[in-house]
Structure 1
Amino acid sequence: MDKNIFNKTIKDWQEKGYDILRLEQLYYKALLNNKKRVNIVAIAVIVIAILLFVVLVPKIFFSDKTVAVAKKDVSEKIEEFVLRIKCSYTDNTPVSNTPFFIYQGSEQIESKKTDGKGDGDVNLPAGKYTLKILDAKREIVLSADKEVEIVIEKYVSQPAKKETVKVVVKEPVKTEPVKQEEKKTVNYNEPKSSPFTFIRVNDKGYYEYKNEKDGSVLIYIPAGEFTMGSESGESDEKPVHKVYLDGYYIMKYEVTNKQYKKFCDETGRSYPSDPGYSGMSSYFTNYPDYPVVEVSWNDAKAYSKWAGLRLPIEAEWEKAARGTDSRTYPWGNGDPGTNRCNYDPGNYTEDGYKYTSPIGSYENGRSPYGCYDMAGNVWEWCSDWYGNNYYRDSEYRNPKGPSSGDYRVIHGGSWDNGAYGIRSALRGYGTPSIMYNPGGFRCSASE
């Protein structure tokens, strides 16, 4: 209210006899309310000004710089990175020979192992990759602006130790772009080098070689993990567990009478006893392409050494027989029927043979890698000592069985077993010095 108006009003009210004190109270009350409204408006104006400053000023003064930085980042082309694998236990003990694989999409483009210090380096073009270390997978995207560290932890066979794998993407290495024609496609079904003579790649995609010493055909089994044992089998097949094996070779067929005879003739070892199969007289000399029988573990080991080979460890035998998908039999999970293997379907002869059969007779019974007769025909010796509870304490990498025992492991069943007895996971055992009628073997070799 204007003060002049107020004074005039006072004078009029005095002439009319009004209460002047009451009017003064009303004036100052109105004046106070007006000041409050002014304060509220002032505060609102200040808040709006601050918001405008925060939102608009950066765009006005710094928009050009932001765009310039973005353009600069885009213009920097990253050509190559160093991928560093560091593998150690939590007590800093290096874990050497740890395999790691790098994929781009579904294609495996690199495979290496950590060195004695637990380190492994790979040069990679910038891009998106999948890294696999043992059975742990992590997807990584190479980045240019900073180091990226990926930690993969895995318990190993020693419960007290935890394996830690650190993957560090280092700062980019400026190199010349790799020419397309210089890139090589790596086939990890093929060994890096081989002491054996290459024959072919079989119809399942695996490399076959000839051992010149005994004429045997060997199939290369690539390095990797598989599931060992069976929860539906005997107690010594449990627990089911993962096993990692380095690459190795294993015979495509069982050792034949012909091959074993050559060994005996060259070394002076005695011929095996005749198994007494009815209608198959002089089995060892008259049936050269049939599997040798009546051989002990000691005999099998001696032959392997003579041939420049060795007996397979139990895990190698089982992987070669059933692959990596936990199948029951070499061909899958279906019943043996009468055209997949030589076993006892109920009357012995329904599958075509009463006793042993020539090696490689059952095309439909091959394993995932192309091995024949890994179910039925004859039991096959493995190098391991037998341990009823060994699977509880088995090592993860290349397990070689107990350090001692009374019996050696046999696998595969024979012509004398039914369907249950020829399962790939079923474990048998025998005294190393005893010859068994339906017992034979096949050899293997390390990469």
Structure 2
Amino acid sequence: MQTTKNVTGTMRWAAMGLACLFLAASLTGCPFTPKTKPDFMAWPVSGTAPLSVQFIDISYVAPGETVQRWWWDFGDNGFDVVQDPIHVYVQPGKYDVKLTLETLAPDTKANTGVLPTRIKEKFISVTAPGATSGDVIHPGEMVSIPAGGFNMGATDAEAGAEDEYPRHRVTLSAYEIGKFEVTNKEYADALNALLDEGQIVNAAGDPYTGGDVYAYGKRLLAASSGYCQIAFSQNRFVPKVRDGRSMENHPVVMVTWYGAVVFCNRLSQSQGLAPYYNLATWLPAPGGANGFRLPTEAEWERAAAWDTAPTASASPLHWIYGFASNIIDFSRCNYAVMEEGQAAYYPNPIGLSQFPYTTPIGYYNGTNGTLNRRSPAGCYDMSGNVLEWCGDRYGMYTEDEQTNPAGPSFGGTRVVRGGSWFQDANACRTAYRASMYPGRAFMFLGFRTARIP
């Protein structure tokens, strides 16, 4: 059942009157107060009219209680009573959305007598056709971060994991970091250059004709996986086409830490810079300080989380998510909803028919029904889309103040940051930390670059 703006005022109030009579009759004499908490998401939450919005019930249902009905008020004289309705907004405006739940009490299964309600004010933003805005996408573009200090780690409000504490003071020199994640086309171009130089081989060390990609003794790309979005055709690496869409501007996935490092060196060479890494030791090379490399996790967190103070007397802002917000929804980044006991929900914003459900770099730029959500530094996709390799080995934090930390000197795993289309909101927090073995590759893991100017 779907209702839209064309519901007349008379019909609206008649419908609501009947609903109120029904509720009054069904709830009489029931003192139980439910513990169920209504909540919902929607996709998209902004766009041009007519805007079709999928609403998704993500309410917490208390043990023993049962939701009998969902009462939706879309703020434009439209209503619905299904769990996950689709509603079309036909007029420009900002709309409050309200979800009220009718619940049954444990044991007696009688109506609870209290209707828990959640209201999200100005939740849906609809503009007139032609009123959208966006950011120009330039793969490989870098943003500059000035020298400065920040408090690294989760805030008390987040209730982060143990490895996100203790917060500690970190000072960084000026650096540059990629505005976007590295794309399939960028990575394919680098592989083609290495192929022409005779560096690319197969797992046996023979000339490459297909399968996983190796160089310098390490696997770079799990190209044999169906999840890899780069193909090998007519002796060239090319981005795949899926569901009629080129994957060239989607972030590269199925790439190992070694594969990200080799890309950084190749990018340095293409721009006349000395390579940062020694590919015999996989450590920084003498004289390569200004070459492209993976960001340290301190550099990553500063670019993702830290904003300037709103006033001269205030403290700098630490945002929970990497798009300058403490609120996450499907208009701001590409991530999944995972609730205990329920199947994972993937919004799959561009409607791909199979995994991976990536979005093009810079997709959340104020078009496509999204909000323009960059990090405080101006970077896209620092929450969601793909998880990102960092240069550091993984280790626990200490309280010690640090300057330009590069992680432990020893350890078997490397830090990954930022969450992905395959992970939930918790993993998209700017303080969230995880680690992977450097030779592993996943359909939700990519990277961005950094360098010292």
TM-score, length-scaled by structure 1:
0.49
Higher helix share: 1
**Taking CA–CA contacts closer than 8 Å with sequence separation of 6 or more, which of the two structures ends up with the larger relative contact order?**
2
TM-score, length-scaled by structure 2:
0.48
